[in-house]
A = this chain, B = another copy of it.
Amino acid sequence: MQASPPMSLHDALAHALGADRLNTDPAFAEAQAGDWSDAPRCAPPLVILPRTPEEVARALAVLAQYRQPLVVQGGLTGLAGAATPQPGEVALSLARLTAIEAFDTVGGTVTVQAGIVLESLQTQVEAAGWFFPLDLGARGSCQLGGNAATNAGGNRVLRFGTMRERILGLEVALPDGTVLSMLNRTTKNTTGIDLKQLFIGAEGTLGVITRLVLKLEPKPAAAQTALCALGSFDAAAQLLKALRMRLPALSSFELMWDDFMVAAGEVAKLKPPFSTRYPVYALVETLGDAGDDAQQALEAALGDALEHGTIDDVIVAQSLEQAKQLWAARESVGELLAATRPHAAFDVGVPMDEMERLVATLRARLEARFAAQRHLFFGHLGDGNLHLLSGPYEAGTDLLEVEALVYEAVRDAGGCISAEHGIGVVKQAFLGLTRSEPELDLMRKIKQLVDPAGILNGRRVVPDRDTSG
C-alpha cells in the first residue's frame, strides 16, 4: 500500500495550478450543481477552473494521485445528467478554455479550446466568411467540448452530419493526466486506430476533451424556408426523398404531427399556419446562395410535389420574418416542456421504415394507459430521430412506467433509446434494451483500461454489471 500523500487534495491542486483556479464558494457550487435534466442536483464541494488545456491535464494527474472522483462540466445544458455532480465528486469546469488557437481561412478549419460556447464560435467564423453548421437550442450556453462529448446533433444533421462529422482532430487528457494529442487537420487520415472516435459521444467517461480541430463550411448567404402540409407519414417520406435528390442544399426536414402543432400553437399563441388541419407537417430549409436561384429551386421542387399530390398545401417564406413564423411551432419546444411538467420527454432513434408504425403503436398504448395526458410527436425525419413529449403527469408520479413502455416499443422497432441527448445518469437503467451484453462488456473493459480507478465521470452511461443474478 501507498502512503497517504503529504498534502491535502486542495493544497496539491493549488500547488499544481494556483489557488485562483479553485473555487469553493457555495453560491458558485450551487450554480454548478446540475444540468438541464431532471437528475437530482448536487453541489460539488470544489470546482476546478483550469485556464489552459495543459492545466486540465495537470489537474487530472493530481486527482488521479488522490483517487478523487470528478465530474467534467461544460455549459451544463445536457439533458441526461452526465455533467450533474454525484455525491463525492469535485467538478472540473472547462469554462475558461475559450481561445480560438488557429484558423485556416484557406481550407476552412479551426483549432479551438473545449470551453468555447457554440454560438461564439459560429459568430467568430462567420465574420471570416465561414460557417460552423452544428446548431441546437442550447447554442448560447453549450460548449464545443460538451458538443463533442455528447456527439451533439440538432436541426441540420441531414446535410452537415452530427458533431462527429465536424471533428477532424481532438486533444484529450486521459484520467491519469496523459495527453493524447490528435490534432489532425485533414479530412482523410488512415494511420491506425482512430482513437479520437472513442471519446466522441462517450459523455466524458474516458477522457477530458481539451482541444478540437473543426471542419467548417463556406458561409451560405441565405436560408430558404417552407412549411408543407401532408396527408400521411408516407407522403412525408416521399417528399424527403424527392427533396434530397433535387436540392443538395437541403439542410433541415423537421416533421411535426398535428397534435404537436395544435399544442405548440396553444402555448406559443400562434395562428394556425393553414386554414385546415393536416395529419403531419414538414418544415423544410435549404441553405444556399443569396440570389434567386436557391429560392427558385425550392419553389420549383415544392411546386412539383404539390402537382404530384405528395403535399397538400405549402407556404414558402418570402421574408426572414415569415421564415421565423414558420419555425415558431418547432421552436416552441421549450415552452411546451415547461407547460407539460411533470412530463416524460423522449429522444429516440428509429429506422425510417419503422417510424410510422412506432408512432401509431406508442400513441395507442400511451392513450390507453395514460388517457389524461398529451402525447406529442415531432422529430428530425432524415436522421431517424423521433421526439416525444408526454405529460403533464401528477406531481410526484414515478415516470418509470412511461419510460419502460416507450423504450420497449423502441427496442422492438430496432431503434435506440437516445438519438442525441445521451445516457448520462438518467437513462442507464434502459441502456441494455438497445445495446447488447457483449457491447456493454466491451464498453466496461475500455473504461477499465483508461480509468482503472473509475474516477472520471464514474457511475454514468454504462451501468455496472448486474450482480443480482
Cα distance A289–B459 when bound, in Å?
Answer: 51
In the assembled complex, the CB of A158 is this many whole angstroms from the nearest CB of chain B, namely 8
A3 contacts B by Cβ under 8 Å: no
Determine if B107 and A351 form an interchain contact, defined as CB atoms under 8 angstroms apart.
Answer: yes
Contact with B along A260-298 (1 / 0, CB 8 A): 000000000000000000000000000111000100010
Q: Interface extent on A, as a size class?
A: 35 or more
Q: Which residues of B contact A234 (CB under 8 A)?
A: 106
Cα distance A28–B268 when bound, in Å?
Answer: 71
A420 contacts B by Cβ under 8 Å: yes
Contact with B along A211-242 (1 / 0, CB 8 A): 00000011111000000000000100100011
In the assembled complex, the CB of A378 is this many whole angstroms from the nearest CB of chain B, namely 14
Interface residues of A (CB under 8 A from B): 104, 106-109, 150-151, 153, 157-159, 161-162, 164-165, 174, 178-182, 184-195, 197-198, 200-202, 205-206, 217-221, 234, 237, 241-242, 244-246, 248-249, 287-289, 293, 297, 349-353, 380, 382-385, 414-423, 431, 434-436, 438-440, 442-443, 445-446, 449-450, 461-462
Q: Which residues of B contact A245 (CB under 8 A)?
A: 218-221, 289
In the assembled complex, the CB of A271 is this many whole angstroms from the nearest CB of chain B, namely 32
Cα distance A193–B384 when bound, in Å?
Answer: 19
Partner of A419, one of B189, B202, B383: B189
11 intermolecular pairs with C-beta atoms under 8 Å apart: A157-B188, A165-B165, A180-B438, A187-B382, A187-B383, A188-B383, A192-B423, A192-B461, A192-B462, A221-B245, A248-B287
**Copies of this chain held together in the complex:** 2
Determine if A241 and B108 form an interchain contact, defined as CB atoms under 8 angstroms apart.
Answer: yes
Determine if B418 and A191 form an interchain contact, defined as CB atoms under 8 angstroms apart.
Answer: yes
Q: Which residues of B contact A242 (CB under 8 A)?
A: 218
In the assembled complex, the CB of A54 is this many whole angstroms from the nearest CB of chain B, namely 14
In the assembled complex, the CB of A195 is this many whole angstroms from the nearest CB of chain B, namely 6
Cα distance A190–B350 when bound, in Å?
Answer: 12
Partner of A188, one of B289, B297, B380: B380
Q: Which residues of B contact A221 (CB under 8 A)?
A: 245
Q: Which residues of B contact A104 (CB under 8 A)?
A: 351-353
Take A206-B193, A249-B248 as given contacts and tell me if A442 and B184 are in contact as well, using a CB distance cutoff of 8 Å.
no
Determine if A384 and B194 form an interchain contact, defined as CB atoms under 8 angstroms apart.
Answer: no
In the assembled complex, the CB of A148 is this many whole angstroms from the nearest CB of chain B, namely 12
Q: Which residues of B contact A442 (CB under 8 A)?
A: 180, 195, 450
